[in-house]
Structure 1
């Protein structure tokens, strides 16, 4: 059998669109609180923005460069773009249908509503006109379009309006069009005060409705025939020449200035926008009718993300929870605990605070001599970063490997690197051509009793971002295992120095040993199955696209290995094909938290090897990034993590099962069983 046959693979971009459809379907789940359901609408919208900025833009680049290499499933870039246009339009239409027909009426039933202009009372109209005059007009600048004012370069993903005018302005110019740009500082939804709110508890008005109603005030003496909202999505790739002599931070700063003005890839307009206006915008933006999206509502749904936070209705939101801290850490120094045992944390069910305290205590502990840490995404207000600064100012040797190229966090990371450098931290940007995606911290501490140096390590599947640790599921391992600590030390040596590839004891790391060790582990299961032994794998990932690993999984399935894949997003493997992948099941768990942890389990004839990792099974992770894959060696922790994987495989409420044709079917909904994420909340949090 030809395991490389394109018919056995699913398309990456279409798989990503399918993921966003699963996210959108959460908005229809009646067991999810109403304000959380509407949040999934906004998450889907935000995901689609990035999809067009990155994936669609990348396919357009391929076409422009004449890149004829087909995707894994054999489709050309042109064919994929054509299918994307079809499916993305269907997805957007479904998104607005759910928003308008399902969720807005239910919100109104709960005294939360959006008022259209034709329903404003006289008092509301007066208040909103005053709001427009004093809050909107002072910060916007109308741009008339004539021979001296060509069509402006419009900012990526910003709300704009095209006004159709008639009449002469103060200079006698006969203008037909003008453009309004809405600054990001203006809120996209405005809540009416109680004094004019009416009978409902929360009455909101879209900024677009206010502008459309009062835009006349911006053009006194002229007639406005129409005011039409629109929004452009642009190519957000950064074109860096990493081998140039220019400093990486300087090069990134220069490229970031142009990110908001890349080539347009999508135009969104209101449903009622006339064809004449649409044609004008398409022509000015150099887009085709296929790249036009007519929407029945605000063109910038993702900017409504703050709605649930503006409404104080706990009954319409998920129940709150307090992440648990291991009892062994209560009133004990974390270094003393780690000298006795490893710690495994499952976020967000268990607190991220021990990881923060690990760095904080290292900063304050006079016996700590050095701290080394990788930083990919941290957030703007990071306690960990403050601890690194404190440690440096206390005279400790502090090294931070800051990845400047973390997509859409580049500006924050440049600022972070500068802040650390000013505090005396040794900042390294990693290796040219390889993003540093590994999540690891190394603390070197003097053991006074033994008069020797002791290493302590944190390794994680997620970023050092306390906010994400409340929203993403990830694992953290804190250990003093000698082999693991030595391996982490060597990886830091690779990142900050030069030299040949180190042989590591326990860690698998990209771009050197991770891929070949994964192949070996899969081939071992394949061999065991061929010899009549029990063979099994459980692999939890965000994305699976690497052809060589998929091919190895097909061969393993063909040999009789039981393979359970938990793949949240992109999956190019096609399960359930007779004689090829009939021993493979792929499920995607979508729920309250974003499934982000990567875990690899290999049965190996009862020896059971378990790893957690920063890496997905994608080409970029395996060949173009610095990644770490670390074993869970302590028996009780290994058994616990395997049990949690089994819980995920037993879930029937949040699991979507991948079909051979690329479609996903919800396993079941409405059964009395609790969702797996709720079970883990009940088990691991307060």
Structure 2
């Protein structure tokens, strides 16, 4: 073999791939590290802890549930080659370490620090007589009227327990009014009441004293069973599979089928049991038997089983600004809200959220809704949030006689019910609503405006990496492009025609699209960088995304690395590529940035031998995004804007040495710190300083 050629390697070998689920759990350790960082304001640390708990809930509802389903019914072998049974063992082992770390930090560090700051989450053993009297009255007045304890006996078998609901299992001794012997009962906490009770200052002595509803319920549960002796009461919570399954080709009405599926989501197969750590063994065994779970799915909790609910404290503490991140005023893009179309005819406008306001998008849509020269508006909606101005402007446009078409993705996970209601509301206002394509979620973020100008029609487009959601646009980092470029706008038009009609695959001019051209184009561009490297032209790829798991893309990156191309990846969450493997991925680095804002933008840059290309996209480099969803990937054609995206989203993040983590070959992450004379640099802080006040 020529000495210039690398030794042959089987790039499909399972050893070259990290497990997706374990990598996702690693991300939650990085979120927890934010909570443990003393430089982060105290209430923000509380928020990060709760986010790590909520993330873990969703992980079990979706990812662990998927592995459990594969164990039961089979499925394709993942690239890492780990069988479902072994994967579940590893998941429970790593998740167990995460849960232990969460509660150890809560009990030993965060809760005491909150106490010292005058924000007290009072445990039962710390209530004084006055507090106990007030809480007992609260129990009798607020809880007791809505509680319905369920005694377990041959007539009352084990009840159906709702997904993630707070419950208390009670062991009783004695006889009830009908002479029935005591045994076990289940009490479900009312879903209509807040999980955090804010004690009045005159009762507690301080402005910010709180008690968890679970503590009140267990403290006074004996009031429910008068005449019997409560031997013990232990809170528990079960997490269930929350993936919805609808055979779209077998249903005539997707919205109706989803409504039926949503009704049963809360009672699907269990995947995890959380229970108080002092619960007796026989109670745990009974619960496991009823939920069909094995021992490794039990998480014994030293604290409240619904710790994520403590996040309510963040909003309830209203006058302690020093305990939260400083507020900021978002920058405004150079879009004249009075003449947005004139602005876009002069040149493209780039938006970088949350540093620049989402208001520019709203201004553009509002202007279109009220402009007599606008004939049509087309829009995709994946997640919008409550009381969305986007929806109001679309309804206004329809009422003003414009042709408004909206592609609503009903299957946006955990927003299905909200999107069904949204679709109904839009249709009632005269908007033409379509649900996209059978078998493919519509995840693309795009808006098209058709306007009559000087006797001809002109199109304006907005494309983004994030949802049309004003709330997340203040918390997520995303890129948006507003343009009057004829080719891009024509491509957006053609994609809308595909989504709302039955047209064949269309050759696009500028955009790349899943599931047709994006995957193939990525592989081709990666291969081109490999060829540049082989020819001595310095192949170079920089890409930023939320997750990376698509096996053929990973293999292409390995090939490019072996050819000598330099590959720098910024992957926030799960990454199945294993960097730093000798002879395979020596030239690949992977980092993750976790900070104040959720990193959500997807940006791909290819050096192309001195003629660089840069794209922004709604798609991660994941199998589902590249092969099973409708996604868009759009080039930044204006050289000044392309330089901005490169500087702000790539070079800036590669220089981060305060909030960045480096992925190691074994799948673990290490914190990046300033070295030598290196100045400390936070990518997000730099952008806040650049754009915001």
* TM class, shorter-length: over 0.9
Residue equivalent to 1:191? 198
Q: Find 1:663's aligned residue among 668, 672, 680.
A: 668
Shift of residue 115, structure 1, vs aligned partner? 1.5
Residue equivalent to 2:629? 625
**Is residue 565 of structure 2 the alignment partner of residue 557 of structure 1?**
no
Residue equivalent to 2:38? 30
What is the SS of the residue equivalent to 1:601? strand
Residue deviations 1:376-423, cap 9 Å, x none? 001121100111011001110000000000011000000000000000
**Is residue 114 of structure 2 the alignment partner of residue 107 of structure 1?**
yes
Residue equivalent to 1:335? 341
Residue equivalent to 1:567? 571
Residue equivalent to 2:5? none
**Is residue 188 of structure 2 the alignment partner of residue 181 of structure 1?**
yes
Residue deviations 1:508-540, cap 9 Å, x none? 000000011111111111111111112211100
- Asked if structure 2 preserves the Cα contact closer than 8 Å seen for 1:146 and 1:175, the reply is no
Distance 2:190 2:392 in 1: 32
**Is residue 143 of structure 2 the alignment partner of residue 136 of structure 1?**
yes
**Is residue 22 of structure 2 the alignment partner of residue 14 of structure 1?**
yes
Distance 1:63 1:674 in 2: 45
Shift of residue 672, structure 1, vs aligned partner? 6.3
**Is residue 201 of structure 2 the alignment partner of residue 202 of structure 1?**
no
**Is residue 88 of structure 2 the alignment partner of residue 81 of structure 1?**
yes
Shift of residue 544, structure 1, vs aligned partner? 0.5
Distance 1:522 1:643 in 2: 21
List aligned pairs for 1:586-625, cutoff 5 A.
Answer: 586-625=590-629
Distance 1:161 1:124 in 2: 22
Q: Cα distance 1:672–1:39, how it changes in 2: closer, same or farther (>3 A)?
A: farther
Shift of residue 303, structure 1, vs aligned partner? 1.7
List aligned pairs for 1:219-234, cutoff 5 A.
Answer: 219-234=225-240
- Asked if structure 1 preserves the Cα contact closer than 8 Å seen for 2:674 and 2:680, the reply is no
Greater shift in the superposed pair: 238-247 or 408-417: 238-247
Residue equivalent to 2:220? 214
**Is residue 691 of structure 2 the alignment partner of residue 684 of structure 1?**
yes
- Asked if structure 1 preserves the Cα contact closer than 8 Å seen for 2:164 and 2:240, the reply is yes
Q: Find 1:483's aligned residue among 487, 503, 520.
A: 487
Shift of residue 47, structure 1, vs aligned partner? 0.7
Distance 1:201 1:571 in 2: 44
What is the SS of the residue equivalent to 2:250? coil
What is the SS of the residue equivalent to 1:305? helix
Q: Find 1:318's aligned residue among 325, 340, 359.
A: 325
List aligned pairs for 1:384-533, cutoff 5 A.
Answer: 384-447=390-453, 450-533=454-537
Mark the runs of 5 or more structure 1 residues left unpaired by the alignment. Answer: none
Q: Find 1:59's aligned residue among 63, 67, 90.
A: 67
Distance 2:229 2:394 in 1: 60
Residue deviations 1:333-355, cap 9 Å, x none? 11111111100001001100111
Q: Cα distance 1:195–1:672, how it changes in 2: closer, same or farther (>3 A)?
A: farther
Distance 1:372 1:355 in 2: 14
Distance 2:440 2:669 in 1: 34
**Is residue 11 of structure 2 the alignment partner of residue 3 of structure 1?**
yes
Residue equivalent to 2:49? 41
Distance 2:447 2:172 in 1: 60
Greater shift in the superposed pair: 596-605 or 266-275: 266-275
Distance 1:226 1:292 in 2: 19
Residue equivalent to 1:255? 261
Shift of residue 117, structure 1, vs aligned partner? 1.8
How many residues are aligned here? 681
- Asked if structure 1 preserves the Cα contact closer than 8 Å seen for 2:660 and 2:671, the reply is yes
Residue deviations 1:316-372, cap 9 Å, x none? 00000111112x335641111111110000100110011111111110111100000
- Asked if structure 2 preserves the Cα contact closer than 8 Å seen for 1:71 and 1:77, the reply is no
Distance 2:535 2:126 in 1: 74
Distance 2:108 2:125 in 1: 19
Residue deviations 1:446-483, cap 9 Å, x none? 11xx2211100000000001111111100000000010
Distance 1:404 1:55 in 2: 20
- Asked if structure 2 preserves the Cα contact closer than 8 Å seen for 1:528 and 1:535, the reply is yes
- Asked if structure 2 preserves the Cα contact closer than 8 Å seen for 1:471 and 1:593, the reply is yes
Distance 1:593 1:140 in 2: 40
Mark the runs of 5 or more structure 2 residues left unpaired by the alignment. Answer: 1-8
Shift of residue 184, structure 1, vs aligned partner? 2.1
Task: Extract structure 1 runs of 4+ deviating beyond 2 A.
Answer: 328-332, 669-672
Q: Cα distance 1:672–1:229, how it changes in 2: closer, same or farther (>3 A)?
A: farther
What is the SS of the residue equivalent to 2:34? helix
- Asked if structure 1 preserves the Cα contact closer than 8 Å seen for 2:336 and 2:343, the reply is no
- Asked if structure 2 preserves the Cα contact closer than 8 Å seen for 1:145 and 1:175, the reply is no
What is the SS of the residue equivalent to 1:322? coil
Distance 1:192 1:61 in 2: 44
Distance 1:472 1:175 in 2: 52
Residue equivalent to 1:296? 302
Shift of residue 570, structure 1, vs aligned partner? 0.8
- Asked if structure 1 preserves the Cα contact closer than 8 Å seen for 2:335 and 2:349, the reply is no
- Asked if structure 1 preserves the Cα contact closer than 8 Å seen for 2:447 and 2:461, the reply is yes
- Asked if structure 1 preserves the Cα contact closer than 8 Å seen for 2:143 and 2:190, the reply is no
Shift of residue 48, structure 1, vs aligned partner? 0.7
What is the SS of the residue equivalent to 2:555? helix
